[in-house]
Amino acid sequence: MKYYSTNGKAPLADLRKAVVKGLAEDRGLYMPQSLKRLPDSFFDSIDKLSFQEIAFNVAEAFFGEDIPADRLKAIVYDTLSFDCPVVKVTDSIYSLELFHGPTLAFKDVGARFMARLLQYFRDGDGLVNVLVATSGDTGSAVANGFLGVEGTRVFVLYPKGKVSPIQECQFTTLGRNITALEIDGVFDDCQALVKNAFMDDELNSLMKLTSANSINVARFLPQSFYYFYAYAQMKARGLADNLVICVPSGNFGNICSALFAKAMGLPVKRFIAANNINDVFYKYLQTGVYTPKHSVQTLANAMDVGDPSNFARILDLYGGSWENIRKDISGAVVNDSAIKKSILECWRDNAYLLDPHGACGFRALSDGLQPGEAGVFCETAHPAKFKDTVEKVIGEPVAIPERLAEFMKGQKQAVSLPKDFEDFKYYLKTTAR
């Protein structure tokens, strides 16, 4: 399989280059030249397959031309050492729980897959430096996915004071091959630093750089696995015929992988992209005009993105057609007040505890489902990762899972940097010596 750049000005890449480089030479995002539609027989029996079996079938369609089946199967099965169950919340709304992995967030799937794929491609070929910008859960998932992986060094860039304390401790306490960089800015500044590093000739001559953000094909493509699995679980319940999937959306890697799944044949009726008040994509859906802006801090901090990178992939996937995008995706905006209300009402009425991001998905489905439809929203992180926020809303203590409690015992180790690229570049150059 060859991969092309969304900007159309870079040479084609094979999978190895797309994974190791992360970003194309023209600053575009890599896209597979073609997407294989999965056969009807796969969907006919999908509800009889395990999560790992489903994921391997999908992974073969993505990566089977480039990786031997036995190695790919090992990568998939090792990645998915945990479940992503669909759980009933109301008569028509279900939660796809994506917080059962090592860092209790959906990004464990993509981060673990990428770490294993990068190790496969590296094959002893020097030190790979992984740069990742995070607004919350990406940093912890990537850091823990790559922790101790031979031949890799990870730099996690995060905005000072804009991630939850529990999220922060998941990537600042690890040490070893993980370095946390506390940037005096917002997530978009962190993301800009990462992208500029890839375009800097001097840096790239000194060190091998790649990204573990959803700009990397090895991060966002595997996230489609759990959409196929969600469909399988809903089919087993007899609720798959008019299925609506709602994805809390920030940098849009998650919903982008869902749209790739649909392009491969996943029979989902439609998708809802739930934004917080960082509503750039919502306004695009209404007007056809995409206008990036500075992000605003909200309770759903992982969605605080004012210029989502993966919008370029969505636009490319639909041939630039606003009309076709609107056929598959509708939008919703959920402000902090509605997030709090959703958490409280869902806990009080359904005994189901939401995190702030899942609350955006739940609210969008509650307001947007039509008669005869069943809805699934992504519960992207365990509510205990937002313990202070959730406890204030429901007025009750939130139990912290043992895995999360272990992270909180560690000592913070972080390097403070301004948002200026030259300072970031100088820091990286000193580490390359």
CATH classification of the domain holding 254: 3.40.50.1100
How far from chain centre, in Å, is Cα 326? Answer: 22
In a domain? residue 243: yes
**Phi then psi dihedrals of residue 408, to 5 deg:** -70, -10
CA–CA dist 413, 254 (Å, integer) = 29
- The answer on pLDDT for 52 being more than 90 is yes
CA–CA dist 393, 344 (Å, integer) = 6
Closest CA to 170 of 154, 186, 185: 154
pLDDT for residue 123 = 61
Domain of residue 239: give its range: 83-106+220-400
In a domain? residue 56: no
Beta bridge partners of 180: 156, 414
- The answer on pLDDT for 317 being more than 80 is yes
In a domain? residue 333: yes
The radius of gyration computed from the CA coordinates of the chain, to the nearest angstrom, equals 20
Residue linked to tokens 């060859």: 2
Residue linked to tokens 């005009």: 289
CB 110 within 8 A of CB 146: no
Q: How far, CA to CA in Å, does 183 sit from each of 59, 210, 251, 411, 424?
A: 35, 19, 18, 19, 9
In a domain? residue 247: yes
How far from chain centre, in Å, is Cα 102? Answer: 15
Give me the mean pLDDT over the 138-162 stretch: 91
- Tell me: the pLDDT tens digits for 356-415? 999 999 999 999 999 999 999 999 999 998 999 999 999 999 999 998 888 888 899 999
The mean predicted confidence, pLDDT, of the chain is: 94
pLDDT for residue 124 = 61
Could you write out the three-class secondary structure of 161-203? CCCCHHHHHHHHCCCCCEEEEEEECCHHHHHHHHHHHHHCHHH
In a domain? residue 36: no
Beta bridge partners of 153: 129
- Tell me: the pLDDT tens digits for 238-270? 999 999 999 999 889 999 999 999 999 999 999
For the chain, counts of helices (H) and of strands (E): 20, 14
Global pTM exceeds 0.85: yes
CB 195 within 8 A of CB 212: no
Number of domains in the chain: 1
Give me the mean pLDDT over the 154-173 stretch: 92
